Structure 1
Amino acid sequence: MIRDLHLPHGAIRLPEFLPDATRGVIRSVDSADVEACGVQALVMNTFHLMQNPGSTTIQSLGGLHAMSGWSHPIITDSGGFQIYSLIRQNPKFGTINRKGAAFRADDSGRKYNLTPEKSIQLQLGYGSDIAICLDDCTHVDSPFEEQEISVQRTVEWARRSKEEFTRHFEQKRSPSQQRPLLFAVIQGGGHPGLRKQCAEALLEIGFDGYGYGGWPLDSQGNLLTEMLRLTRE
């Protein structure tokens, strides 16, 4: 079992709870206070950062670490959960297809396109320590047909994400110790067969790590321990 993740901005001792700093900060707490609490790493969100303050602003400030005043590891979520929380919950907020997702996420009517390639480009531009492949997130109780399409998209998007990630570093020729890790996300809802299918396909592509995608709770709020165990195996 892996006990430590060694990343460009330090190591994370596992297991570890990672606070959510969606737009680069934990609300009402500054980075010095977070560090004093012994927090090892933060999670930030690619989609929300793309909206505000925007990738150009983040890069002009020197990346997420400089912008947030946080010198330790940062994990950036891909924006896949927003496919569920925005588009799947209310189609007026956008559309999903095999290319990616198109969001209409604010009152201005502005559109934000997020593809597997763009998600990786943004995360690398932000200076992430662990980048996450874009996935098609669903609710655990969504119909089987919807989950099946989600798995197909998630695997294809993961493949495209890895290709973009590899292309970036082949061109940049960065030392391996400066490279972030790339994690894929296992979807499949509440269907063991689909979870297994997704996990096996992602393992065949090969990533540095894997996450459990979607809700780990059933409709009554119970933790899906058996599904988590199956996915882990």
Structure 2
Amino acid sequence: MPLTFELQATCPDTGARAGLLHTDHGTVETPRFMPVGTVGSVKALAPRTLRELGTQILLGNTYHLALRPGRETLRALGGLHRFMAWDGPILTDSGGFQVFSLAGRRDVSEDGVTFRSHLTGDKLFFSPETVVDAQRDIGSDVMMVLDELTPATVDRAEARRANARTVRWAGRAFAHARATAPHYGHHQALFPIVQGAVYADVRRESAEALLDLDAEGYAIGGLSVGEAAPVMYDMVEVTNEVLPQSRPRYLMGVGTPQNLIENVARGVDLFDCVMPTRNARTGSLFTTAGLVNIKNARWAESAEAVDAGLDGYHSRTFSKAYLRHLTLAKEPLFMEIASAQNVGLYLWTMREMRAAILEGRFPAWRREWAGRLAEKA
């Protein structure tokens, strides 16, 4: 069945939305954060743990999965769902971020992007069509088009040029997707990506041009790449003024809990970011009491739970002193506990916002929690 989005409630004061995203692998309650499983694994967390934390949808990366284990392996083993033993929905990024982040290893033309593998140095060519084919092999429920992302510092002319190419590539991707069938018997939606750097007029042009594709959902890309947070929020507002109310909106690669709250207030439904697990690996925790540097000596003899405000096993069972000890001793268990805490906090934040939207109290919840989650505990 086609992917469908059921809008349940909208906050009249802010535009925050609560909805249900129906996929062949299950329903996703929005707003929702997607833990990042770049190569088919959310670092240090097993799929069962992710389910226990409340994960409903994961993100994988087409570029990295195409390098290893490779499309042939995924196709032979029945796609990413079976490969990683995850039976819920999966969204895959297209590799467009690597066009941006691997600038020294790629060449961009109208045909597509030629990469030098960061693993072997071998050449790898991505076009709008081959990116769709790769995601067919992966078997994700939501595929993304190949796009050309630019840094926030580009001028308007460069932003407009890159966006025009992104729109052309999206047209090619949709034509190819509609001419091909999924391998594994479930529907795969394709989302185009709004670009335009920090220029409101280019963002509007991008969103308006992509409406012609009549996509099942739309993504907002090219943000959280160097611009100030207020600029990000302005670009999201501009974009969501154009995107249809009846389709889900996915803001790519964002961000802190405060970023999530402010962008939900502007009508975003889906998010992903590596920050929860990346910060966990350095001992930086997101908690309901604020930000915690678990390496700080103040926690050396603390019997406090990692986060008594969360119900999860990892948050309630272990003390801050124990987690600090594991972190300083570089014991692998510290990564599991810290990652479960951070991912759990992000998922908790989304659940709390969703409940507040449905119950008509989102503005008050936002006022209470936006600052609290950013404080240093």
Q: Same fold (TM over 0.5)?
A: yes
Q: By how many angstroms is 1:145 displaced?
A: 2.3
Q: By how many angstroms is 1:36 displaced?
A: 1.0
Q: By how many angstroms is 1:222 displaced?
A: 4.8
Partner of residue 21, structure 1: 37
Code of the residue aligned with 1:212 in structure 2: it is I
Partner of residue 167, structure 1: 179
Code of the residue aligned with 2:58 in structure 1: it is L
Give yes or no for contact 1:47–1:78 (8 Å, CA) kept in 2: yes
Partners of 2:227 and 2:238 in 1: CA distance: 19
Tell me the alpha carbon deviations over residues 180-207 of structure 1, each in whole angstroms, 9 at most, x when there is no partner: 2111100000011110111000001221
Counterpart of 1:75 in 2: which secondary structure? strand
Counterpart of 1:35 in 2: which secondary structure? helix
Counterpart of 2:152 in 1: which secondary structure? coil
Counterpart of 1:227 in 2: which secondary structure? helix
Counterpart of 2:212 in 1: which secondary structure? helix
RMSD of aligned residue pairs (Cα, Å): 1.9
Give yes or no for contact 2:143–2:189 (8 Å, CA) kept in 1: yes
2:189 equivalent to 1:181:
yes
Q: By how many angstroms is 1:216 displaced?
A: 3.7
Give the counterpart of 2:102 among 68, 86, 93.
86
Counterpart of 1:53 in 2: which secondary structure? helix
CA separation of 1:173 and 1:214: change in aligned 2, threshold 3 A:
closer
Partner of residue 26, structure 2: 10
Give the counterpart of 1:150 among 162, 182, 189.
162
Partner of residue 214, structure 2: 206
**Identity score, percent:** 33
2:147 equivalent to 1:139:
no
Tell me the alpha carbon deviations over residues 137-166 of structure 1, each in whole angstroms, 9 at most, x when there is no partner: 111221222211111111011001100110
Structure 2 gap segments, 5+ residues each:
1-5, 8-18, 242-377
The TM-score normalised by the length of structure 1 is 0.91
Structure 1 gap segments, 5+ residues each:
none
Q: By how many angstroms is 1:125 displaced?
A: 1.5
The TM-score normalised by the length of structure 2 is 0.57
Partners of 1:39 and 1:13 in 2: CA distance: 10
2:241 equivalent to 1:228:
no
Query: How many equivalent residue pairs?
Result: 225
Asked which structure has the greater RCO (Cα within 8 Å, sep 6+), the reply is 2
2:90 equivalent to 1:74:
yes
Partners of 1:30 and 1:71 in 2: CA distance: 13
Give yes or no for contact 1:94–1:105 (8 Å, CA) kept in 2: no
CA separation of 1:105 and 1:203: change in aligned 2, threshold 3 A:
same
Counterpart of 1:52 in 2: which secondary structure? helix
Partner of residue 61, structure 1: 77
Higher Rg of the two aligned structures: 2
Give yes or no for contact 1:183–1:207 (8 Å, CA) kept in 2: yes
Stretches (4+) displaced over 2 A: 105-109, 172-175, 216-223
Partners of 1:9 and 1:115 in 2: CA distance: 27
Counterpart of 2:69 in 1: which secondary structure? coil
Partner of residue 64, structure 2: 48
Partners of 2:40 and 2:120 in 1: CA distance: 23
Partners of 1:219 and 1:210 in 2: CA distance: 21
Give the counterpart of 1:193 among 201, 223, 241.
201
Counterpart of 2:172 in 1: which secondary structure? helix
2:99 equivalent to 1:99:
no
Partners of 2:190 and 2:45 in 1: CA distance: 28
Partners of 2:23 and 2:200 in 1: CA distance: 32
CA separation of 1:122 and 1:217: change in aligned 2, threshold 3 A:
closer
Partners of 2:71 and 2:146 in 1: CA distance: 17
Q: By how many angstroms is 1:107 displaced?
A: 5.4
